[in-house]
Amino acid sequence: MTELERALTSDSAFTPPSHILEDISADLAQQPHPGAPHTIYAELWHITFWQRISIDWCTGIETPIPPHASAGFPTPAQASDEPWPALRTRFFVELAQAAALTHDPALLQTPIRCPSLPSVPTRSMTVEEQLISLAAHNAYHLGRIVLLRQLAGAWPPRAGGFTW
């Protein structure tokens, strides 16, 4: 397993996503916390939203980004349409797709286009650079999920997680 694959799926620099998302009930996932802008559910939905776009870009699909950051978080209707277990499953299925891209050294060096807002030029990078960006983005939001779990008294998970 390469370090990039570990950063996406395993314990490279933080608790693995599978541990972070372990034993979270639908109620806990939807529980708001004073001062926190999003629930665990919304954080994972956001990760999965951008993960899909990153995979699209890595596979040559120039999916446009939304015109406003709020579109990257679920509306109440979107949250209602996808139960927590289904969202977790979609996240892990697509995470495996992203991790599989790390196995092809030639693909990793392939240049791709990553659409930007209409007023900003389209960015170009390699698949590897986009996957590094995805790993960093996921890590940021998974860290927010850890904090929300800590605030709810639901950390560490049974499988273990950093507590320091």
51 near 91, Cβ under 8 Å?
A: yes
User: Would you state the pLDDT for residue 164?
Assistant: 59
User: Would you state the pLDDT for residue 117?
Assistant: 86
**Tokens 């289904």 map to which residue?**
86
The rounded distance, in Å, linking the Cα atoms of 73 and 124 is: 25
Domain map (residue ranges) of the chain: 3-151
pLDDT in tens, 115-157: 988 888 999 999 999 999 999 999 999 999 999 999 999 999 9
SS3 assignment for the chain: CCHHHHHHHCCCCCCCHHHHCCCCCHHHHHCCCCCCCCCHHHHHHHHHHHHHHHHHHHCCCCCCCCCCHHHHCCCHHHHHHCCHHHHHHHHHHHHHHHHHHCCCHHHHCCEEEECCCCCCCCEEEEHHHHHHHHHHHHHHHHHHHHHHHHHCCCCCCCCCCCCC
User: Would you state the pLDDT for residue 14?
Assistant: 87
Classify the phi-psi angles of 10: left when phi > 0, otherwise alpha if psi is within -120 to 50, otherwise beta: beta
Mean pLDDT in residue range 6-34 = 95
**Tokens 């030639």 map to which residue?**
106
User: Would you state the pLDDT for residue 119?
Assistant: 86
Sign of the Cα torsion 145, 46, 17, 137 reads negative
Confidence of residue 162 (pLDDT cuts 50, 70, 90): low
CATH placement of domain 3-151: 1.20.120.450
User: Would you state the pLDDT for residue 131?
Assistant: 98
pLDDT in tens, 63-83: 999 989 999 999 999 999 999
